[in-house]
Amino acid sequence: MDSYNLIQKIAIYALPVLLAITLHEAAHAYMARRFGDNTAYMMGRMTLNPLKHIDPVGTVLLPLLGLVIGGVLFGWAKPVPVNFGALKNRRVGTRWVAAAGPLANLGMALMWALLFKLALNVDGYFSEPLALMSQVGIQINIVLMVLNLLPILPLDGGRIFESLLPPGMAWKYARLEPYGLWILLALVFSGLLSPILRPFINLMYSLLGVLL
| CB neighbour class for 90 (10 Å; exposed up to 12, middle 13-18, buried from 19) | middle
User: Residues 25, 128, 162, 177: which is the catalytic one?
Assistant: 25
Q: How far does Cα 143 stand from its chain's mean position?
A: 7
- Are the beta carbons of 94 and 195 closer than 8 angstroms? no
Q: CA nearest 88: which of 28, 38, 148?
A: 38
Catalytic annotation on 25? yes
**Is the distance from CB of 17 to CB of 140 less than 8 angstroms?**
yes
So which residues are the catalytic ones? 25
